[in-house]
Structure 1
Amino acid sequence: MTDQVGFLNFAEAREIAKRRLPRGIFEYIDRGAEDERALAGNRAAFDRIKIKPYALRSGSNRSTTISLFGHEYCAPLVVTPTAFAGLVYFNGEVELAKAAAEFGIPFTAATEAITSIAAVARATSVPIWFQLYLWDKEEISFELMDKAWSSGVRTIVVTVDTPVLPNREFNVRNGFDVPLRFALRNVFDVAMHPRWALGVFGRYVVTEGVPTFANYPDQYRKNLLRRDRGDPLDFMPNLSWDHMGRIRDRWKGTMVIKGLLRQEDALEAKRVGADGIVVSNHGGRNLDSAIAPIDVLRGIVDCVGPAMTVLADSSVQRGSDVFKLLASGAKAVLLGRSMLYGTAAGGKAGAIAMMRILKEELARTMDMSGCQTIADVNQDMIAAS
């Protein structure tokens, strides 16, 4: 595996991505918001949790398989929606979706993607999930939901933790915004990454034209270099639970609400009929003083009860992190940065390698802790230090 993609863990894949990607794109993926306290807090929260292993309980029948929303998967892992996944590798969103399908875990396509939901769905052998940011023109969002349904999507993930754009000051410094801002610093940086400039961005320009937000309607779509924005289409400024209710009425499949950190909000999600929630602080990328998901996860799981499927994410780097979130009550764990780093390192092969690494790390942690199945990974297995 390492001969093909060159990494054995999250940190090594991150270093490869850092070398291969222009600084603006790498920092967009890698960094947090403002002073990055939430990003550091996520890591510190994982490190505070310790595992209490049983002895003499290992066996040959250990399994990481799970059932999620009526489907069987090889591991409690989900590829989370990420904007600009298509910029870490040519057709990166398709490569990552194919990797997830081949490996046997769900892939979630993003609203702000370079490749359209229809194109990603056509490229995969199994149904994908779709993430929705609700636009300020609600009917256009509903039309996009209908396109997703027509493409075979049956699970929608509504992201609700971005009522305003976060303060990511490093994006201002490095010029990574839409449209891209050109300055000597970032032009030189792209020139110093010819593999990306020619093999990713240049290849798009030659084959498809300058990349765009492919899920936006034509009159609102802009490519990454346009200055004349045209008709505006922004996120819903007054997003509310009434909007969630209307989405629930419209969407006939599985509905998941992503970005909750309070028990009250989890109960509201249950009230409007959501099938699942994601306990998440957006990977430390939005509110810089947000609490770490693992610190509130158990309380939320206990609050909503077994009828609600609770997922979790934010800053997972090792299979032991996955173990800790599962022990805290999550049914599965969403992965973002790790999937992008793996894809940047080797496309589909790199993504599969990262999935395999995290699954094997989780399995090893289970073996070392005396857990034969995911059901054995429970609250009794961990303690806060």
Structure 2
Amino acid sequence: MVVKVTPLEGKPLGATIELPEGCNDPSALSEEDFKTLYEAVHKYLVVVIPGMENLEPESQWKLTKRFDPTCDQLGGAYGHGKEFRHENSVLKRDGTSIPGQPQVQVLGQGTWPAGHHGLGEIELRHPTHFDFHHDPLTEKQAFEEDLTRFYRWHIDSALYGLSPPVATTLLGIHVPPHSRKQKILYEDNGDVLDVTQGATAFISGANAFKLLSPEMQERALGTTVVYAPHPYIFISPARATSDGLTMVSEGKETPLDQLPPWEESKIKRLPLVWTNPVTKEHHLQVHGCCLNGLELPDGTKLGLEEARKEVHKMMRPAIAPDNVYAHSWNKGDLVIFFNRGVWHAVTGQFKPGERRLMHQCNIASGLDPYTAKQAQGAAA
């Protein structure tokens, strides 16, 4: 038996993976089987391997590295260091590192006793929109009416100094029951998306690109996104739009001269459109919350507020309910997603006493994303 790939029925993206008989560690797949998995991740963008609750952190790290051999060029850099832990970063409360495998982060909700892979007692906090959105839901809406929001649509990446990871692996170890349902209300048009509590939402960047008009596609293909230095610290005083796509422009961002020391050469300037190296499709890939400007094909430079308006206009059609795959977690689900081909968002909120525990791994790449020009060169 070889790796079996089954597309998710009735979903806009995604597939399930069945490992070869007797294999319980996907990091140990043969080269042939891993190639099947690699191509499935790039084609279906999000794949789910069930029954992996006993996967060791070392194996998760090794599996994640196999998707990008350039990771080893960085001497172990993984993008969760000073930026992730800085006291002013919006990421600071989102997880903790496993002592013996710091590339793997422990995420979740609630208090967990000492002994989890060498950790002492830990208090985990599920990210919610309450302290990140400009106009959050009321307590009544969230906890009595079970409404929720997309917390922040994003691409996993430090977006300063380090290049975006190729793939992210996310393992559900303790997850809430599917009986808790919540609803995402699209406040600009009244649409509703039903999700299970704590679902992770994904959209295809390729579909996002296809939804643009031909004129906007041409414009996007030649546009460069300029990210802020230390972007998660830069945006920490600001607040997000209610759809989680970008930030509200009120001039509240941390002034550049008040950020930790930064270097111009480490500011990330990335294409707005990345090209899938397997399918050769164009993907609209942008972290709308962390950008600081856009450089258009004709040389025009858009500042922060105008850049946010531009990307919001491009991104909004892609998150319509029919385009979203909201993964309902089961214990042992190992989700692997092509981080250079999707955007994803945390959803949901938890009541006191409710708990969740997950392992996440993504590793900064040695190379910036594959562009359309590179794809043309490879095909020549």
What TM-score do you get using the length of structure 1 for normalisation?
Answer: 0.28
Higher strand share: 2
Higher helix share: 1
What TM-score do you get using the length of structure 2 for normalisation?
Answer: 0.28
